[in-house]
Structure 1
Amino acid sequence: MQPSPTLARRFWEAVEPLHALVYFTPEPAEAARAVGLTGWWRGYFAGRIAPLGALGGPAAAALFFAFSPVKTGYALPAAWTQAAPEKVLDARLDAVRSALDRTLPTDRTGLDELVDLLERAVEGCAFEGRPLAAAWSDVPRPADPLGRLWLAATVLREHRGDGHVIAVTHAGLTGLEAGLTHVATGAVPADLIQRSRGWTDAEWDGARRRLVARGLLDRGGRLTKSGGTLRRELETATDRLAADPVMLLGESGLTRAIELAAPLSRHLIDSQVVPLPNPIGVPRP
């Protein structure tokens, strides 16, 4: 069951890999180690949350509620005893520039135009109730096109991601339960989500039983009719909450941005920089 291809969803699919290479290339992990962070996941959580400062505990668990609190708690606030948020942020920005320069096609015709369109799209974003997107929007704009590209793509994806959290909680699901319903759509394998998000077998099983009791999953873990309806409503709400850039750029501007971004993202996927399937659930645009 795949969601309908709204402009907001097509925009996300075209732009997301330009952000997501940060999770799959060696440069960011090496940069995190270089500033003193131990363990890949400390680099992941500290890197994503750095613009908000040295958060940890319940605040970090709330922001990353798709992950097990145990996994989040391993990383934060301990990461801040190893490296300050400012150092983590600077290292991450430098690393993604290098990663993009290495992995993008050598022919980058239209890159400047794409950067301008993405930065204009960011200007259309409202940040009420969206802490990660708001924090990243306050990061000073880099001077170089690749740094600007990644930062704009990051603000847009965190804007959509924060909106997705709003939609999930409004639907009455926990982050773990939302993960199980995502798996049930067939978009991503169960073991990939469970392993990457840090849920134990007991936690995964308990969430599955709750969803079965609510009539959202059958005993085989498949979406029921009610579950399918809820999942479609969830994706529709996520698209609606991600509509700010669409409204600002309009159909022609969004279409042009997709036209420029999609070949770059396809290259990252086709060259296996961003794997398929992936925990994010982003497909090849």
Structure 2
Amino acid sequence: MSHPEPVARRMFDLVEPIGMLPYFAGESDEALMALGLRNVWDAYFAGRAAPFGPAIPAEVVHAVFYNFAPGEVARHIPRIWDLTTPEAALAARERGCVAGMRRILGERADDPAVTRAADLLLRAATSAPMEGRALYAALRALPVPREPLARLWHAATLLREHRGDGHIVALLAEGIGGTEAHVLHALSTDVPAEKFGRLWHLPAAQLAAVIDGMRARGLVGADGWLTAEGRAAKERVEAMTDRLAEAPYQALDSGELDRLIADLGPISAALKAEFPW
């Protein structure tokens, strides 16, 4: 159904803390590292690329993930599949995320609200068209967990990657490359590019070349900060991302959406309080 007001941004604020569990809850990395992986970036790529199976080359993962610097993906793929299997990685990631959520939520983990939220969120997450959404489509092909916490995390992951696939469309429409996307985000939050978590490790000359390219297009000023056009580009990217993320929530009527928002609120708040946002 069509809701009277867009809901994707509101739902992003509620769903993102659940979808971010693999990257903030230590239990996920611990479960993946126990498979014999070498470091947390092995764990990242094993967990997130596993839905594609072991045969996908680094170049394709680089294209789908979009925002890694050249060569970063190839340091982990395909060699992680010499250490474990996609099936084992998926199981370990889910197991770790559920353990992390249970630890953080405590008694709330067994509240009926978790089951309600999981069922409604899963219905939304499995209702959107898959065309043009490579990672979302790969996740849709996986079995759906039965346990409520696992179902909730799985649904949030589907929605996170559905939104991420749309975000890439929005970036491409603005001509913003993968590393440029990190620069755009960092500068829009008044963080110097070289201090941003996904940029600080890049060679200075490589990062300078990216910023110079954005400066030549009028996105970054001589002072190193976003110009008015740079901020407008960022706003257009976010607005299009929100529009492209609306589809899943059309599967819920207004009463179901209200119920989902009410049930997710305390869950998301507990996770936000735990993670270093």
Output the TM-score relative to the length of structure 1.
0.88
Shift, 1:193, TM fit: 3.2
Q: 1:93 maps to what in 2?
A: 94
Instruction: Tell me the distance in 2 between the aligned counterparts of 1:159 and 1:189.
Output: 29
> Is the 1:194–1:200 contact (alpha carbons within 8 Å) kept by the matching residues of 2?
no
Q: 1:194 maps to what in 2?
A: 198
Any unmatched runs of 5+ in structure 2? none
Counterpart of 2:198, as a letter, is Q
> Is the 2:130–2:137 contact (alpha carbons within 8 Å) kept by the matching residues of 1?
yes
> Is the 2:136–2:162 contact (alpha carbons within 8 Å) kept by the matching residues of 1?
yes
Q: Pairwise CA RMSD of aligned residues?
A: 1.9
Q: 2:49 maps to what in 1?
A: 49
1:77-226 equivalences under 5 Å are 77-107=78-108, 108-186=111-189, 190=193, 191-195=195-199, 199-226=202-229
Specify whether residues 237 and 90 from structure 1 end up closer, same or farther in structure 2 by C-alpha distance, changes over 3 A only.
same
Shift, 1:199, TM fit: 3.1
Shift, 1:69, TM fit: 2.7
Counterpart of 1:72, as a letter, is V
Any unmatched runs of 5+ in structure 1? 277-285
Shift, 1:36, TM fit: 1.6
Counterpart of 2:74, as a letter, is G
Shift, 1:10, TM fit: 1.1
Specify whether residues 165 and 253 from structure 1 end up closer, same or farther in structure 2 by C-alpha distance, changes over 3 A only.
same
The worse-fitting range, judged by mean Cα deviation, of 169-178 and 260-269 is: 260-269
**Would you say how many aligned residue pairs link Structure 1 and Structure 2?**
269
Give CA deviations for 1:37-92 in whole Å, capped at 9, x if unaligned. 11110110110010111123210111122111322111111101111111111111
> Is the 2:6–2:246 contact (alpha carbons within 8 Å) kept by the matching residues of 1?
no
Which SS does the other structure have where 2:20 is aligned? helix
Specify whether residues 242 and 40 from structure 1 end up closer, same or farther in structure 2 by C-alpha distance, changes over 3 A only.
same
Counterpart of 2:75, as a letter, is Y
The worse-fitting range, judged by mean Cα deviation, of 69-78 and 147-156 is: 69-78
Instruction: Tell me the distance in 1 between the aligned counterparts of 2:182 and 2:89.
Output: 28
Instruction: Tell me the distance in 2 between the aligned counterparts of 1:247 and 1:106.
Output: 32
Instruction: State the percentage of identical aligned residues.
Output: 37
Shift, 1:232, TM fit: 1.1
Shift, 1:225, TM fit: 1.7
Instruction: Tell me the distance in 1 between the aligned counterparts of 2:60 and 2:276.
Output: 30
Q: 2:17 maps to what in 1?
A: 17
Specify whether residues 91 and 210 from structure 1 end up closer, same or farther in structure 2 by C-alpha distance, changes over 3 A only.
same
Shift, 1:247, TM fit: 2.0
1:229-248 equivalences under 5 Å are 229-248=232-251
Give CA deviations for 1:164-188 in whole Å, capped at 9, x if unaligned. 0111112111011111111121176
Counterpart of 1:201, as a letter, is A
Output the TM-score relative to the length of structure 2.
0.91
Instruction: Tell me the distance in 2 between the aligned counterparts of 1:158 and 1:90.
Output: 18
Give CA deviations for 1:119-155 in whole Å, capped at 9, x if unaligned. 1111321111111111111211112101101100000
Q: 1:280 maps to what in 2?
A: none
Counterpart of 1:127, as a letter, is M
The worse-fitting range, judged by mean Cα deviation, of 214-223 and 142-151 is: 214-223
Counterpart of 1:12, as a letter, is F
The worse-fitting range, judged by mean Cα deviation, of 41-50 and 176-185 is: 176-185
Q: 1:279 maps to what in 2?
A: none
Instruction: Tell me the distance in 1 between the aligned counterparts of 2:96 and 2:206.
Output: 35
